[in-house]
Structure 1
Amino acid sequence: MSKTILVTGAGRGLGRTLAERLSARGDTVIAHARSAEALAGVPHAKALVADLADPASLAEAVAGLGVDRLDALVHNAGVLNVSPVAEETLEVWQRTMAVNVVSVAELTRLLLPSLRAARGHVFFLNSGAGLNTAPRLASYSASKHALKAIADALRAEEQANGLRVTSFYPSHFDTDMQRGLRDQYDSDYDPSRAMSQETVASTILTVLDAPADMVVNELRTEPPNPLPIRPRG
């Protein structure tokens, strides 16, 4: 049976891969991006065009979708900056929290009636940084720790309504964000020692397709031999 699934950050990377995989198997994809242009070539039935840095804009955007039932909401979009606490700017802190935390909570709140109607699934793409932090990752890691808290609270609150809630903590998979992180650390990167986007997308689909009598609450994955993040030379 086909599902209706909303994927944030569907314009590129893992989000785009998910939109392609879901559409190819017959699901109805609602693709989110910051602009309509970003969704060019991305298969989708409806578009949610909104800037997650502006959480207050989400209510109007969601109302325009007219979605009564939603089988899954995949929180994939996110931003990352590498900087020590002593140098991280207020602007970066505010943007990181707006995109990675506040908009996630607000989008979930707005879509809960539709998710409850379908006894749906809220899927949070977290990070290893959501469990353990590292130097120069304070803002990103803080946002991902907050994301875990949202997921844990939502799971406890919505179990009686039949919602399934998953936090996924993949480590070292091949994305522009991972490459950018390595560049900011002046660290080498070897995609052959990272999980592929296809592997991560397949894992997400498997979790979303779990039988109705089971939910994967948390999942951690990593490649067999990840390349450590360390300065070149």
Structure 2
Amino acid sequence: MRHLLTGAGSGIGLVLARRLAERGDDLVLLARSEERAAQMRADLPRAAYVVADLADPGTINGLGRQVDGPLDSLVHVAGVVDLAPVSRLRLHQWEEQVTVNLTAPAVLTREFLPHVREARGTVVFVNSSAGLSASAEWSAYAASKFGLRALADALRAEEVEHGVRVSTVFPSRTATPMQEKVHEQEGRTYDSSRWISPDTVVDTILHVLDLPSDATIPEVTVRPVVPRTGT
């Protein structure tokens, strides 16, 4: 199988890339710069790399022409978060999160959709529980993720005739560097043992990718079993 991934430099994306590589699948990984691609290549040397900055979706235009042949999956994992109440939300905070989390996946999907159609493959959007319910200070991030769910829903309806499956995975808080940043912004103590392991989320993504062709999983939610506390 052959997969194109975003967000493979850390967290869920890195674990997924390693797991796919270990089982012998071919990878095409998106890096934001040539320098970042070189860093990622040290850990994932067998992968192919394409360069584009999700914060600047114009760099994605034409990227599909840099890859030949079918893609069994396109997996959107990359994302950014920057918490703030609406009363203090700066324009750049809103724009960055909507651009990286929503606009860039839409443009990237358009670019690589012909390759996924060729394989009758799967597009996976790794969303967030914030894409289902918005909490205080999460307006920009949640709005981008609500939009990402809408993108997936529309794409699913459009691509069924081409044999392309579209799945959204909604992980709740997961023990990743992004989650550590969120705890810093919330002023809370970070304890990775309280949250979902990235491997557990990756198990879910792999189940979606490996599903037999007679079925699809439109949406799946993954939540931790440890109750949240205020500390």
Flag whether TM exceeds 0.5 (same fold).
Answer: yes
Q: Is the 8 A contact 1:70 1:118 kept in 2?
A: yes
2:141 partner letter:
Y
Cα distance in 1 between the residues matched to 2:10 and 2:43: 9
Partner of 1:51: 53
Q: Is the 8 A contact 2:86 2:139 kept in 1?
A: yes
Q: Is the 8 A contact 2:55 2:104 kept in 1?
A: yes
Cα distance in 2 between the residues matched to 1:5 and 1:226: 35
2:145 partner letter:
K
Partner of 2:112: 111
How far off its partner does 1:23 sit? 0.7
Cα distance in 2 between the residues matched to 1:30 and 1:118: 15
Cα distance in 1 between the residues matched to 2:162 and 2:63: 25
How far off its partner does 1:11 sit? 1.2
What SS does structure 1 have at the residue aligned with 2:71?
coil
Partner of 1:209: 210
Cα distance in 2 between the residues matched to 1:170 and 1:91: 26
What SS does structure 1 have at the residue aligned with 2:86?
coil
Q: Is the 8 A contact 1:6 1:74 kept in 2?
A: yes
Partner of 1:21: 19
Task: Decide whether aligned partners of structure 1 residues 226 and 204 sit closer, same or farther in structure 2, where only a CA change above 3 A counts.
Answer: farther
Residue segments in structure 1 that go unaligned for 5+ positions in a row: none
1:15 partner letter:
G
Q: Is the 8 A contact 1:72 1:120 kept in 2?
A: yes
Partner of 1:166: 167
Cα distance in 1 between the residues matched to 2:117 and 2:62: 20
Q: Is the 8 A contact 2:63 2:111 kept in 1?
A: no
Cα distance in 1 between the residues matched to 2:171 and 2:25: 24
How far off its partner does 1:225 sit? 1.2
Among candidates 1, 5, 11, match of residue 3 of structure 2? 5
Q: Is the 8 A contact 1:172 1:226 kept in 2?
A: no
Residue segments in structure 2 that go unaligned for 5+ positions in a row: none
Partner of 1:138: 139
Cα distance in 1 between the residues matched to 2:109 and 2:74: 8
Partner of 1:199: 200
Cα distance in 2 between the residues matched to 1:169 and 1:150: 14
Among candidates 60, 63, 66, match of residue 61 of structure 1? 63
Write out per-residue CA displacement over residues 51-77 of structure 1, whole angstroms, 9 at most, x where no aligned residue: 10111111233322x222110000000
Cα distance in 1 between the residues matched to 2:105 and 2:83: 21
Question: What is the identity percentage for the equivalent residue pairs of Structure 1 and Structure 2?
Answer: 43
1:6 partner letter:
L
What SS does structure 2 have at the residue aligned with 1:173?
coil
**TM-score, structure 1 as length reference:** 0.93
Q: Is the 8 A contact 2:10 2:177 kept in 1?
A: no
Partner of 2:176: 175
Cα distance in 2 between the residues matched to 1:99 and 1:29: 21
Write out per-residue CA displacement over residues 128-179 of structure 1, whole angstroms, 9 at most, x where no aligned residue: 0001001111100000000000000000111111110001111121011111
Q: How does 1:55-94 map to 2 (within 5 A)?
A: 55-64=57-66, 66-94=67-95
How far off its partner does 1:92 sit? 1.4
More helix, by proportion: 2
2:15 partner letter:
T
**TM-score, structure 2 as length reference:** 0.94
CA RMSD of aligned residues (A): 1.3
